[in-house]
C-alpha cells in the first residue's frame, strides 16, 4: 500500500507488519503467499507470488469474509474466526485479524494444517495493530 499519507507511527506499524508477514511466509513449509486485507477489501501488507494482484486478492478476501460472517450467524450471534477452502491445487485460509482485518494464507495441498493454524493465528493477532492504525487516516 501507499504509506506516504501515514504518520511515522502508523508507517512503523505497517513496516513491522510487513516483516512479520514475510517472515511467516518464508518460514512455513508449503505456504506460498499471504496478505492482510482491511474488511472493506484493501490490501494492507502482502507477500504474494508475482502474478497475483494484491488489490484483487484483498477484495476477494473481504467478500468471502463478509459471507463467512453471515454463515456463522446461521449458528446464532457469533464472529467468524477462520474460513478454510480446500482444492486440488491447495488451500486458501482466511483468519480474522482483529476487528478490522483479515489475513489470507495460500498453501500447497501438502501443508500441515494443524501447524499452520497455530502459527497463522499468532501472526493474525500480531498484525492487528496494522489494521487498527489504518482506520484513522483519510487522505
Residues contributing to the site for another protein (CB under 8 A): 38-42, 55-56, 58-60, 62-67, 69-70, 100, 134-135, 137-139
Q: Which residue has the cell 513496516?
A: 15
Please say which residue, 2 or 110, places its beta carbon nearer to another protein.
2
d(C-alpha 62, C-alpha 68), whole Å: 10
d(C-alpha 79, C-alpha 103), whole Å: 15
- In angstroms, what is the minimal distance from the CB of 42 to another protein? 6
- In angstroms, what is the minimal distance from the CB of 109 to another protein? 24
- In angstroms, what is the minimal distance from the CB of 67 to another protein? 5
Amino acid at each position: 500500500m501507499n504509506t506516504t499519507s501515514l504518520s511515522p507511527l502508523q508507517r512503523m506499524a505497517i513496516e513491522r507488519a510487513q516483516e512479520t508477514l514475510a517472515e511467516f511466509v518464508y518460514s512455513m513449509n508449503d505456504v506460498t503467499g499471504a496478505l492482510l486485507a482491511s474488511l472493506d477489501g484493501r490490501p494492507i501488507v502482502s507477500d504474494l507470488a508475482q502474478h497475483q494482484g494484491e488489490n484483487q486478492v484483498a477484495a476477494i478476501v473481504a467478500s468471502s469474509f463478509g459471507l463467512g460472517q453471515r454463515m456463522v450467524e446461521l449458528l446464532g450471534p457469533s464472529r467468524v474466526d477462520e474460513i478454510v477452502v480446500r482444492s486440488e491445487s491447495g488451500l486458501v485460509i482466511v483468519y480474522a485479524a482483529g476487528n478490522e482485518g483479515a489475513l489470507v494464507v495460500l498453501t500447497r495441498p501438502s501443508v500441515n494444517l494443524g501447524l499452520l493454524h497455530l502459527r497463522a493465528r499468532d501472526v493474525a493477532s500480531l498484525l492487528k495493530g496494522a489494521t487498527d492504525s489504518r482506520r484513522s487516516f483519510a487522505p
